Structure formats: structure tokens, C-alpha cells
Structure 1
Amino acid sequence: MKTNWFNRLLLSYLPVFFIISLSLLMMTYLTLGEMSKKASVKANQALSHNIAKLIDNKLQGIDSLLLYEILNNDKIIQFFVDNPRESRNYADISAAGALKELIQNNPAIDSIYLYRTPDATVLTPSTLTKLNPFADKKYIGLTLNSRGPYQWTARSIPSAGAGQADKRVISLAKNANLKNLSFLIVNVRIESVSEWIASMADKQTTFVHLADGNGNPILSTEEEKADQAHAPGPGKVLSSAVSEQTGWVVSSGNRDGGILEFVSSLFYLWIAIAAAIVIAGFAWIIYVSRRQYKPVQTLINLISGARKPSPQAAKAEGADEFKLIEATIEELLDETSALQEQHKELSVYHRRHLFLSLMEDTSSTANFGHYLEEELARLGISKPVTGSIVAIVEIDHYAEFVAQYGSDQHLLKYILGASVKELVENKPFTVWTEWISHSKMGVLFLFHHNEGDPEVLDCCEKLRDWVASNLDFTITVGIGRLIRELELTAESFREAVNAVGYKSSLGTNRLITRDHILEKPKGEMFTQLQYFRYISQSFRTGDDKWESYYQEMFHTLSNRLYTRDDLASLMQVLIGYLQKEMAESTEEWNDIWNRDVHSALLSALEEETREEVHEAFHRILHDAFARFNKLRESKSSHQLMHQVKKYIEDHFGNPDLSLTHLSDEFGLNPKYLSRLFREAFGMKFIDYVSNVRMEKSAHLLIDTDETIQDIGRSVGYDQSLTFIRVFKKHTGETPGQYRKKNSL
């Protein structure tokens, strides 16, 4: 090739690669150095605090020792006792011996002496003298005149001889006799403090300064390095700590690192320079890439324009590799163009769109039949279609199916569709399957001769049986009727969807055809309202009859057809009746209903068949009824209220039946009786009496031929108008309308 693109790209990118890599390494090094510096600051903080605590502990120990000796050492105590002068000699000698013993046992103590204020006498381990000739009389005078508490003080002790340097110590005065203001003074060698610090800090890498609370220096590890010619100088103070015992300040830091310290001090500058180099490198890469991309851009333009120069001519011209690639791609364009067109025509979305178009009511669309023939021919169905049947295959209990199989559900759906095609492999008709929703698969049977329903029913039954026998789920198949005109297939589709919708009444794992739907009448909601009223009222009052009403209601449901949506709507009405009754009960009952029972009933609506809904509702209501009865029985007046209830049921025909009548009968206050009745049965006394009377009158209207006036008197209403008004309020119909409706 004329142009060596590899070398060209290598020379373009390799230098900038090295520059960027070195910059990134530099940024890494600087970052690590900065992190190390922060770690050093934390280490110095810990060092300063530890040194301050060490000094505190050491000085506190000496302080405690002195206090102990002052309080417990009889020799020292006798020195301060106000004895006659001629009897003090022995006490003074004994106290001097005690001081000498203290110095011997505590190497950190440089000197210690006692001062007796009444006679201005100073006692050291070796001498007894008056204050005036004593070398340290100035500090004693300052101590006498001090009004604040005695503290550790860094100072210099005047030398005893001429030409000698003063000795540096830290001193503490302790009151020994508060009556005459006598005290003890101890001097600790400054070298001892330096040794304590040296035990904690490495003098080669770290420096430590110790200053008093006023900032006056006490000692520094740098004093020992002053005589070393090549010792590194002190660096920057990194941390400080204050002694709790003395108030002194301990400062520490690392020794000067020379050039490395200088580099570290300009951390952000170096980082900025390195970042600028990296950014410049990326800019260079972009620039070079744009230049190198120009030949590629030319190739893309050729591909997008679908130009077709001859590859042989390109080779004859000695073209580079880009032109060779250009010619090769042009050849591939010719070969893939036809495949792309075919792929578009046979794509899944195109098939699905055509299938759904058939399921829609498009019979009025102009030339739709001709369009269908062309599309079916493209799908490989070239034989003339003489009829079609649509079947809807729905997976039973789809929510459980999704929960059980998760991501494997798509594989099982594929197997289900493949099974349909396998069952009709040797049949004289064509089958077409598409999933029209998550749980429903549409199956279109296309006939080319005079085949009909029996063969389709046989295939669907084999499919249902195979799924039930080999898979862990079942299917229900709704089948529409045979349609002789292909463009009217939507009619068969609607019948199939309608058929599978009635599986809630007819059951799952079966075939449902148009004939099955015509065998039973469609269900009506209005006929169930009376049962809803009886069930809800009996349930609230604690009457066991609610279960018989419930079973009777579902018996009537079993004789009629309801879709799943219709059944759910019907049961929601029952829930509404129960909710209304429970809202009028006590607060305790209402809380239980709203918290536990109501939500459980709403969840039961998700069940798929009528029997499943029936069982779920019955179980929930049965448990709730038992729970409410337990609450009733827990009341002390429960037995008495049952007697009242029995009395009402036996004497409901008495027109004088009232709270006053019952209060006389049972010896209770009417208001108290009303409250007990409401707590026991969850409803008012007058409402319960009315329910009993209306229930009895409803049976009399249906089972007897008595007049409405006689029936009203028999249930406790002397005025027929009052009976009619109460009956209509209770049932929504007049007695005459009710008798006429239920006598048909």
C-alpha cells in the first residue's frame, strides 16, 4: 500500500500518550504526597496530645507524692509544728533526711526544700538556713505574695557560686501548714522533661516545642540539634496540644524536607500544570483524530450515497486499504439490500400488525380483502381461504404463572405457540398464532377446503390436554364460530374473546364455545340485591342466617353466566353493602372491618373463577363473623342481649314493641338497654326490629295470599300506610311490587 496508516497513527498518538501518562503519574505522586502530608498532620496531632498527657501524668505523680508526704510523713509534719526553738533540732534533722530520701527515690526531682514562715527558715536536704542568705529567696518571696493557686512554673535557679550558669527547672509550691502559710517547694530538672518528650518523639524526623500558657518557651528538641552542622532545620508546626495539668502548650511538626517540602507546598500549582498537560493532550488527540477521520468520512459518504464503483478498477489504480474497504462494502451493499427488504416484510411486527388487522372490524375498509390476499401470499399462504375460525388461548391464573416462572414465562409461551403448530402439522388447514396480550394467545385457523368446527375443536382439545399433562399450568380456550369471508374474521375473534371471558362461571382448563354460552342465561345484578341486603344485615347483627343467604345467593349465580369483570362488579356491590352496615356499628367493630376484613375482600376479587371467589369470600366473612361473635361474648351483657334478641324475634308482631316495653320486661333503663343492644349487635334496636319485621313480611308476601293490610298487622304495623312506607324504604319496592315480581 502507498500509505502506511499504522505508522502514521502511531506517530500521531504515541508521543501524546507518553506525555499524558507521565502527567498522570505526576498527579498520582503529588496526590499521594498530599495524602501523606495529611496523615503526618494527624500523626503530629496524636503525638502532641500524647506528650501533653505524658507530662501531665508525670507531674501529677510528683504532685500527688508531695501531697501524700505532707499529709502522712511525720518527719515533714513535725518540721512545721510550732515547737520551742530548743526542741526543733531533732525535727529539722529528721525532715532533712526525709527530703533526701525523696530526692533519692525520684530521679526527676532536682531539689526540694521546706520553708517555715514563722521564723523564715529554709530547710534543704543538706542545710538549714534563714531566708535572706538563701539563693532562691526571690522565688520564695513570690510564692508568699502569690494570691492565686500554686502551679508548675518553668524558671531558672540562681547558681550558688560566681561564674556558674543558672539551672533551669520547673517548680511547684505546696501548702504544708495553712495556719502559718508554710509550704514545700520542689524543683524538677528540665532534662527530665526533655527525656520524657524524647521517649515519645523521634528527634531525627520530628521536633517538639514546649511553652507556658503565655507563650514563653520552656524547652525544645531543636536546642539539642543546634550544635550539629548538617542537622535539618525545623519545619512548620503541624499541631498543638494544651496540658490540662499545667496549661502549657506542646507543639510539634516534621523537620524541614528540603526540595520535597518545597514541591509539596506547591501541590495545587503542580496539579494544575499536570491537568493542563492532560487537557492539552486530549485536545491534541481530538485534533489528530479529526484529521485522520477525513478518509473515513469520505468512505461513509460513499456508503450513504450507495455509489458502486468497481472493486477491480480500484485495485488496478493501486488504491490504499481504505479504497479497498470502500469497494468491498459496496459489494456487500448489493447482497444485503434484498435481504433487508425481505426482513422488513417478514418481520415480527409486520406479522403482528397484519394479525391484529384481521381481528379488527375492517370489513368496511375498501380493498381490504385484496390487501389480505397479497399479505398472506407474502407470508407463504398462497392457497385460497374458504373460511376462518379464531380461538383464544388464555393461561389460567396468570398472576401465579408469572410469579412461578419469572423470566422463563417467555420460553413457555413460545412452547405453547409451537405446540399449536405441531398439532396441525398434517392438517389440511393453516394455523397462525400471535400473543394479543400477556395472558392471551390468538390462534387463527385458515381453511382452504370445506373443513369446519369439529377438526378445530379436536385440535384445541388436544392442546388443552397436552398442556395439562405436560406443563405445570392449564389453559382455557374460547372458540368463535366459522366465518366464510376472511375479512369478517373479526366476528369470530369477538365471539372467542367473549367465550373465554365466561370461564369465571364455566370453569378453567376447558374449551368454551358459542353453544356453551347459549345454554345458560346471562346473569343480572338486580336479582342479587335482596340477598346482599339480607347477608349484610344478618352479618352485622350476629345472625347465623347470613351463611344460608350467602350459599343461596351463589346457588343462583351458578345457574347464570357472568364474566370475570361482571362477577367482580357484583361482589364489589356486596362489599359496599357490608361496608355500609359496618359503618353503623361500634367503633371497635368498624376498626377491625376497615383494617383487616375489607382489604382481604378486595384482594379476593382477584380470584379467577366463581368458585374461587365464593370460597375466598366465605372464608374471610366466616372468620370475621367468628371474631365479631367473640367480641360480643366478651361483653358481660352478652347473654342478656341474646335474651332481648330472642324476645324480639318471638314478639315482633306486637305493635307496642319498643325500648320502653323491653325496659319494663327486663328491668333496664331504656337508654342503657339501647346502648347495650348496639354494642352487642352493631346496630340500633329500631333498625333490628324493622329488619326482622321486613324479613318476615317478605316471606309472607311470597308464601301466602294474605292481604297487604293483614300482613302489615301480623308483623306489628296497625297502619297499612306505615307498613308500605317502611317496606319500600327497606327493599326499594312496595309490598305489591315485591309480591308481583317474586311470584313470576
Structure 2
Amino acid sequence: MKRSYFKSRLFLQYMLSYLIILLVPLVLLTVLIYQSAASNLRTEIERAHLNQLDQARTTVDARMSELSEIASRISYDNRLTSYRVHDAYYSSEAINALGQYKATSSIIGEAFLYFHGDDRIYSTAGMSSLEVFSQRYNFHNWSPQALKQDLNQMKFPTMRPADLVMRNESLEQSLLAYMVPITPNSPNPHGTLLYLIDESEFRGLISSILGNYQGLTYVFDNKGHVLTANQQGESLSTADTQQLFAQPGGIHSQRLNGKTHSVVSVKSELNGWTYVTAMESSQFFSSVSHIRSVILFIFVIVLAAGAIIALMLALRQYFPISDLADFASTKADRLNPGSGGGSASDELAHIRRVLLDSSLKADRQEPYARNHYLLMLLKYGDAKMLPPDLMDAFHIRFDRSRYMVLVIEWEEDYALQEQDDDLAPVSSLVSELTEREFPELSAAVHAVELPEPGRLALIVGFDQAATLTQDEQVQSIVAAIRQSPDEQPPLTLTLGVGTVYDNPDHLNQSYIEACSAFESRLSTGPGSTSYFTQLNDAEDKAFWLPASVLLKLTQSLKQGNFDVAVPTIGESFVYLQSSGASLPLMRCMCFDILNVMLKAASELGITHVNRDIPPLSAFSSLEELENSFLSLASRICSQVESNAKTEELTLMDRIITYIDEHYGDHSLSLESISHEYAISPSHFSRSFKEKFGLNFTQYVWQKREEEVKRQLETTSDPLKDIIQRVGYQDTPNFIRKFKKETGLTPGQYRKQHAESSGAVLADEDLDYD
């Protein structure tokens, strides 16, 4: 084995480099390790502080919402009306009721109820005049006159900064005063509910979450006033304090008192309060001071050892590359049997080949994002919703003068035979049409995979040919799309073709029309091509409104696309006004439109809209009737959108249950679940990440990792058996990923848990470490 090392040019280059310039890389590596350790520690601490501060903000928001809720309940409590509170007979009942509300929140030190224009204030201890109240609670920075004015004029919930209060001329206490007008959110409140909160209790909410945090902590109101602060013995100037308030949310570096501090800031959306912590940056470096001694010790040893250390470093550098080269050779043998894996001097070439393969797999994620954008384009028709740089990355161009949409369907069985990619399988037809050019027709095609299996939408852009009419050019493009040179066997394709528009922003219109034409295939049969512009040619003369308009209206309602339904209904009424029909005949034509809308709603399971439809005789003009139809269409489309979201959430819940039950199956994949629930892989991948915040692979890995941890803690089974039971067949790869996630190998994890629980560790548990 040693002889093979010295035959490697790469290993010899490493050893020679360390011998010649030993000090240069040593110094650089020393500095890099130290700075990297300090930087990583700082990043981890700052992220932890950000999460803790955000949790503290959530806790305080919940308490403030609790106080506002109490105020709302008090404002509607008959026992606490002005009449009852002032009445000698009912006043005791009112005082008891106020005490009951105070007891519902542990943060309230005392609660006072004040009615505008009154010279008395009420608390759980009874009634007192404002003058007596000011004597009992003597605020340093809140005069009795200002107190009375605030109680009478307060219209929005307001928290006053912490203030020292002299109570009964003997006890000084720092209190926060939170005033909530009652009734809350009323433009003309009739009273004010005053909460007195002990500042230590308020700070305790935050400190209990921040733990042993050593630094400055501030809470600002929406105007920059400091409500409370924990300065840990360090005081800031007013200018520095305002700089803290002015910082946007997140993690920042700022100089305070002439020293660099790490500042973490979050802002509440509930009341606009800003929560800020600041810690001296020097504390991060003091936390890694022990690393300095280790680095200096290694530096001295390297200087003394010289050539021996150079050889050891060369070997150490070469070991991972040698492993990667062996892995690359294995990959090469698997892809090209009999290739021999290459010589010992070709390590980097083999590694480069594996990296290129990994890069190709990463590139396959791009179609998900591209397909999502094109789906949104078909729904909303806004071609400018994607920035130009992303459009270039997705190879999407809208540089033609004409645009239309085709809906295409093929036999599902054949499409499933073509699924050979583990990440995002599509049929060969999808691959061919994803980005297809037809230079002879000045046309380009973008394919969009629809949620329904075995169905595509094709966005076609073309420039008008000088030798063909527009209809002839469209028919030629459709014929060219039908010709798939690599199809084995040939497919039976059914197409629906929408209207041609001169702007890509109208692609949603063309898509609905293509769906309408596609739905008419029931009359033409599979393998046919239906043109939306030709639907009227075959219409029954007993119908007065064009069949194309009614089909387009049906499709727009079924897909919940109100943007397309509006002009379609408008087109129907324009036709009515220009038809010259008599009033009875025009009324019958209106029944056609209404029947189409009600039939679409019925097919979608929407029945409640029928009750809200007045008779057609109730309308005095076509404009009123059109507005009524638009209102009906709006309700149907809104319900379709709501139903679609509900169905998708329900489907995702069923899928997540299926994953939780089958994550131990090694064949579990994105494609197997997509096939199980009859949805396209790209649609499933997008929906899963939108709902759960992480992709399918990450979720399955977490489930398997948690189960492995549980079995490592509760069983003495061999590691290899545990890993295979959770559906992972590549044991070395699992161990590497487990260590990357937890910082420990599975054997070390089990050993750590066994030591803490006093269990005996089997020798075989260390085999994989």
C-alpha cells in the first residue's frame, strides 16, 4: 500500500510542497482554524440569540394579547358598567368581577378601571379618588395631571416606559403602566383599563427565555422609547440607544461605547415593539481561548519535527482524496464495466467525474421551479412576474409576436414506462417538448407539466410567416408537435388548441380556451385535435349564444379563474346586445348563460349559490343582470379556490401519514408516492415543500434519523441491521450523513447514551466508527 502512495504524482506533490514551504501553509492554516472557530461560534451564538429573542417576543405578544382580551371582556361585562360600578348596591359585585379578571393573568400587578370624566378610579381593592390614587402611586415621570389627561384621552393601547413609583411613601417599585381604552378598537372609547405591571415580572418573561445570556437587553415601543432594559452593569448613551432602535430586524455588528457589539433585533407585528440584545464581540474570541494553546503547541511540534511532520501531513491530506478516488473508480466501473477504474495517478480526474455527475443531479431540480412559474403564468397571465435573470436561467423567452396554448394528453401507461429518473420522471415526450424549436415555422415551445397525470400544457410562441395565413401556420405547428421522432412506440395524442394572442400576458385566456377545446374531445374522440376557434362551426343552430363562449365560461369557472370569467361574461352580453333579438328571446339566451354557470357549480359540488339567485324578471337592464352574473361567478371561483386549497391540504395530510407509516421501505420515493396518489411529481414536490417547509428527501431523512436514534438508545441491535430496518441500504453513506447532522457517529451516539444511562456497550457497536 505504501508503494502505491509513492507511485501517485498527487501524493508526491503534496509531500514536496510541505517540505519546501512548511511554514507558509502552517501559519495560514493556524490563522484560518482560529478565525473559523471563532466565526462559527459567533454565528451559532448569534443565531441562538435570534431564535431566543424571537421566542421572547412571541411570549410577550401573547401576554399583551391576553391583556387586550381581558379589556374586551371587561368592556362587555354588565357587572362593570358605569352604572353598576357607581351604584352602592352593585359596586361590591363590580369590584369582585374586576378581581376575577385580574386573577386570569399572572403578569398583572394591579388593574384599575376608569370612566371618562369621572374623578374616581376603581381597582380590585375598591374605589378611590384620582387624588388618592396619585398619592398611593406616585410616579416619578408621570404627573397626576398627565395621568388624568391620559386616562381621559387614550384611544389606543399604550405601554408607558418603566417608571419608579413611590407607593404609600415607603415602598419604591419599578412599574410599567399599560393602558387599554374600552371598548377596544372603538373610535370613541368611554373608559380606560390601566394595568400596573412589575418591571421585574416583565423582564422575567424575557430573561426566562434568554437564559444565562450576558449582554444588554432592550425593549422599545414603536416610537423608540425604552420600555424596559437589562443593562448588566453597562450603560449606553442616548445616541447609542437610539441606534439600537434604528437597526432593522436580524443580526448586525455595531459600535457601542467605543466597542464592537453583536446586535440582534426582532420587531413585533402585533404592537410594533422592538426587542434588541447586544453583546461585546470580544466575548466570542474569549470563548475559544483554549484553542490558541493547542495551535501554538502543534506549531512548535511541526517546527521541531520538520520532514517527518511534512510526510504525515502529506499522508493525511492524501487519505480522503484516496478514498474519494476509490469511490470514483467504483462509480466508473459501475457505469462502464471493464474500464479498470484508471491508474493511481488519475485520482482528481475520477473525483471530477463524480462531482460533475452530482452537479447534473442538482440541475434536475431546476425543472420544478421552471414548471411552477409556467403554471402561474397559465393561471394569472402575468409574464413579468419572474425577474429577467431567472427567466434566462430557466431558458424562458417571450420574444415572439404571437402566443397560444395547447393542452395535450397521452396514454398514461406508456408515460409510466418512460419513468427512469429517480428524481423527477417524465415521459420522453415531456423531455422533447420542454424547450423545442421549430425554425421552419418560426416557433418555440415551452412545456408545462400539469397536476393531472399524463397531461401537458404547451406554450407556443411564433412569428407570423409571410407565406402562410395564421390559421395555416397554427395547423402546421400542431402537426409538427405531433411528429415525435424518438417515440417508440408512437403515442396517441389528444390536443386542444386555444386562441392566438399577440401578448404573453393573455396566455391565461388561451389556456382556458385550450381546456375548453380539449373538453370537446368527447365529440371528436381520442387522438383528435380540437381548435377553440372552430367550436362554433359545428354548433347546433338551436343555440343562440356561441358554443365557444359557453365552453370557455365553463372552463374558467371550473378552474376558479375569475380573471378569465369576467371578459367571457362580458363577451356574452356584448353578443346579446348586438344580436337584435326580441326581449323574450334575449331572456332565453340569458337562461343559457345562467344554466352554464349553475351546471358548472353543480358539477363542482357548489350548491349554496342557487339560493341567492333572483329571477331574471327582477332585473330592469342587461347591465344589472351582467353585474349579477359577475357576482355569481366571483362566488363560484372563490369557492373553487378554497376547495382546491382544502383538497390539497387534505391530500398532503394523507400523504404525510403514508410516509410516516412507510419511511422504513427503501423503495419509498417521490415517484412512488406520486404514482400512489395519481399526481405529477413536480406538483407533489412543490406542494409538499410549501406545506411542510422542507422537501420530501429532507423529511424522510429526519424520520429515519429519529428512528435510528431511538433504536440506538433502546436496543442493542447491530448498527447495520438498524440502518437497513429504516430503509437505508448504504450504511457508510448513512454514517457520514448522521455525523454531519449530529456531530457524532452512530456508535459514538450510542456510547454517549449508554454512559449516561449506565448500559453496557457491545464491541460491534464501534465497528463503523
| TM-score (norm. length: structure 2) | 0.30
| TM-score (norm. length: structure 1) | 0.31
Bigger Rg, which one: 1
